[in-house]
C-alpha cells in the first residue's frame, strides 16, 4: 500500500534521523511561499502622501477639506488611526522604518546614520522600485536640513545609509505617465502645503491639484493612494485622518479598528508583496476590512 505523501516524508525523515523540527522544515522545502499577506490585495502602485499636525476631527467632515472627504467617500476611512508620539520627526521614522531610530526631536541629524531595515531598503532588496517626491527639495538627493519651505525632518529616507539619496526626488519629477511610478512612493508636501504652516484648506487644495489625476487613474489601474498625517494637534490623543483610495479599496468602506504608523507600515510592506517587516511592523497588524474582493 502506498503511504500518503505526508507519511512518506515522516518515514523518510525518521530513517535519516531528523528531528520533528527538521521534518517540518524538510516538508516545507519547495512549498510555494505567499507573495503577499493573504488578506491584502496586490496593487501595481502605491503612493503615500503625509500631511502635518491635524487631528481627525479637524479634517474628516470638515468643509475646509472637500477633496480629502471626497476621497473618503469614494474610498476607505480609518476612524481610529493614530500617530505614535510627538513631535513630527520620530513619527515619520516610525512610519518608514518601524522605529524612531533614537531620534526623539525635530533636530537635524547626520544623513545616513542608520543602516536599519526600512520600507525602501526592503523594496530594493526584493528587486522592487521605490522613490520619494519631496516638494521644494532644492535638487534630487540633496541632504540639506532646510531651505525655504522645505524641511528634511519630514523626509525620513535621508536617515538611512541603505537608501540611495538619488531615490529622493523633487516633486517636479513626479511622473505624468503613472505607469512609470515606482511600486511604492511617498509624496511629502512642503511646510505650507502639508498644513504645518498653512491651513487645512491650503493642503486640501494642493492635494487635489497635485494628486487628483493619479487618484482618478488609480481607480481604473489597480493602484492605491494613501493619505495620512504624522501626528495630531496634541489635543486629540494623537488621533489622525487616514484615507485610502483606489481600485483595491471598497468604496465607502470604514474601519473602526485601532491602527497606528506601525500597522500602516506593515500593510504597505504586504501590499508590495514583501515578506519582511521593519522594526515594530513585525509585531503590528495588517489593515483589513476595507479591501475590494
- In tens, the pLDDT along 184-216 reads 999 999 999 999 999 999 999 999 999 999 999
Does the pLDDT value for residue 233 go beyond 70? yes
Domain residue ranges of the chain, discontinuous segments joined by +: 45-283
Would you say 111 and 160 are in contact if contact means Cβ atoms under 8 Å apart? no
Q: Pick the closest to residue 132 from 140, 159, 97 (CA basis).
A: 140
Q: So what's the pLDDT on residue 7? A: 40
Per-residue pLDDT tens digits for 9-67: 334 333 333 333 333 333 333 333 334 566 899 999 999 999 999 999 999 999 999 99
pLDDT of 37 reads 65
pLDDT, residue 8, reads: 41
Q: pLDDT (tens digit, 9 = 90+) per residue, 99-155?
A: 999 999 999 999 999 999 999 999 999 999 999 999 999 999 999 999 999 999 999
Average pLDDT score over the chain: 90
Task: Look at residue 206 in the predicted model and tell me its pLDDT.
Answer: 98
**pLDDT value, residue 82:** 98
What is the dotted CATH code of the domain comprising 45-283?
A: 3.40.720.10
pTM for the full predicted model: 0.88
Tell me the β-bridge partners of 150: 147
For residue 268, is pLDDT > 80? yes
Tell me the sheet residues that pair with 183.
Answer: none
pLDDT score recorded for residue 39: 87
pLDDT at position 278 over 70: yes
Amino acid at each position: 500500500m502506498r503511504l500518503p505523501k505526508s507519511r512518506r516524508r515522516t518515514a523518510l525523515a525518521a530513517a535519516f534521523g531528523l528531528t520533528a523540527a527538521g521534518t517540518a522544515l524538510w516538508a516545507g522545502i519547495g512549498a510555494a511561499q505567499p507573495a503577499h499577506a493573504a488578506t491584502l490585495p496586490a496593487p501595481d502602485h502605491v503612493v503615500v502622501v503625509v500631511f502635518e499636525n491635524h487631528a481627525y476631527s479637524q479634517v474628516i467632515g470638515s468643509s475646509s477639506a472637500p477633496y480629502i472627504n471626497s476621497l473618503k467617500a469614494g474610498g476607505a476611512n480609518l476612524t481610529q488611526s493614530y500617530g505614535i508620539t510627538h513631535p513630527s520627526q520620530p513619527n515619520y521614522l516610525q512610519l518608514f522604518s518601524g522605529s524612531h531610530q533614537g531620534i526623539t526631536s525635530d533636530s537635524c541629524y547626520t544623513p545616513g546614520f542608520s543602516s536599519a531595515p526600512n520600507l525602501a531598503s526592503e523594496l530594493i532588496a526584493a528587486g522592487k522600485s521605490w522613490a520619494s517626491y519631496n516638494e521644494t527639495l532644492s535638487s534630487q538627493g540633496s541632504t540639506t536640513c532646510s531651505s525655504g519651505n522645505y524641511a528634511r525632518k519630514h523626509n525620513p529616507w535621508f536617515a538611512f545609509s541603505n537608501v540611495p539619496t538619488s531615490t529622493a526626488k523633487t516633486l517636479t519629477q513626479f511622473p505624468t505617465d503613472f505607469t512609470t511610478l515606482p511600486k511604492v512612493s511617498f509624496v511629502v508636501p512642503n511646510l505650507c502645503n502639508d498644513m504645518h504652516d498653512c491651513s487645512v484648506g491650503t493642503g486640501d487644495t494642493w492635494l487635489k491639484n497635485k494628486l487628483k489625476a493619479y487618484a482618478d487613474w488609480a481607480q481604473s489601474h489597480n493602484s492605491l493612494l494613501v493619505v495620512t498625517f504624522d501626528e495630531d494637534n496634541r489635543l486629540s490623543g494623537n488621533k489622525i485622518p487616514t484615507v485610502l483610495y483606489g481600485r483595491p479599496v471598497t468604496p465607502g468602506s470604514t474601519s473602526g479598528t485601532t491602527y497606528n504608523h506601525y500597522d500602516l507600515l506593515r500593510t504597505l510592506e504586504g501590499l508590495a508583496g514583501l515578506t519582511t517587516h521593519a522594526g515594530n511592523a513585525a509585531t503590528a497588524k495588517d489593515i483589513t476590512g476595507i479591501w475590494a474582493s
